[in-house]
Structure 1
């Protein structure tokens, strides 16, 4: 059976932030287990949403149908709605459920603010666009665990800022053990640093 990775989708989601992760999970090239992953989208409801780039997406299932028992990972992309109120708070509460069950959660950009408000960053190493961004979120008390890095993996939690979709994907792949270490290093050097010497490593993987 394929492992299911769930990606949250909602109006104003930032299209560019999760594409490397979902495309390369689904594609299977260079994987330890080719063809192991399937991407399933999750909305607040199954009503269509429109991304920041204008893509219309119909979620595969509604959030109240999502259980960590059925998932290998929950991905939370950024969106303007994370900064516009509490509409997306149910996704942060679902992230709490996933983490409590030992199922990883990956949050990037504004989604890190949602987790901050939920108190999920207070006792875990994490990053975001800037620590000041998280300090502006009501309920955040995790500045002592903030790391000024491209992406951070701490146990079952992966975080990144809006300019780091490739590093975000790298830490997702690391947590899921998708690639052998030398392949993961080459993947990041190629897609994150445009290092042509990494291509040969991938072609012989």
Structure 2
């Protein structure tokens, strides 16, 4: 079964929600959208709560942070979104104002939240949490995509393990 994104891209999921494994090595990524409060997302949002409670990682950006606010997940932990008033505007249940951090992306243990403008930093923090690259490779990756400076690209390539 394929899913069509807001942008018209067709995606075929690797597994069903019921087949997802919740453990500290896995991450659930909730992309931005204005539909997260639709009832059709209840199951995946329940899974997000389960991931967090079991030490697994969750990343939420832009509109997905509204859904986490509605669930009370952001009430007592550092987080960010599209501005200090954004969550209160779209989430009548939001009670996390005291924990809001005005940054592009915020990591709080196993939760990474971001504003729509923080997608690059959010991606970096996800890659870091998943331990995909060694630290210098990640820094060169980030610097390259943040600046477009080809010197960082070549430094990035030099830090990658050789493929044999």
User: What TM-score does the superposition give when structure 1 sets the normalisation length?
Assistant: 0.70
**Residue 61 (structure 1) aligns with:** 15
**Partners in 2 of 1:158 and 1:70 — Cα distance?**
14
Question: 1:96 and 2:52 equivalent?
Answer: no
Specify the SS of the correspondent of 1:149.
Answer: coil
How many residues align structurally? Answer: 158
RMSD across aligned positions (CA): 1.8
Match of 1:178 in 2: 132
Q: Return the structure number with greater relative CO, CA threshold 8 A, min gap 6.
A: 1
Partner Cα separation in structure 1 for residue 50 and residue 25 of structure 2 = 12
Deviation of 1:195 after TM superposition, in Å, equals 3.0
In the alignment, the residues of structure 1 paired with residue 149 and residue 72 of structure 2 have an alpha-carbon distance, to the nearest angstrom, of 38
Name the counterpart of 2:61: 108
The higher radius of gyration belongs to 2
TM-score norm. by structure 2 comes to 0.87
The residue that corresponds to 1:24 in the other structure is: none
Bigger strand share: 1
Contact 1:109 1:161 in 2 (8 A): yes
Partner of residue 30, structure 2: 76
Q: Which runs of no fewer than 5 residues in structure 2 stay unpaired?
A: 160-164
Q: Which segments of 5 or more consecutive residues in structure 1 lack a partner in the other structure?
A: 1-46
Q: Distance in 1 between matches of 2:11 and 2:63?
A: 19
Which 4+ runs in 1 deviate beyond 4 A?
none
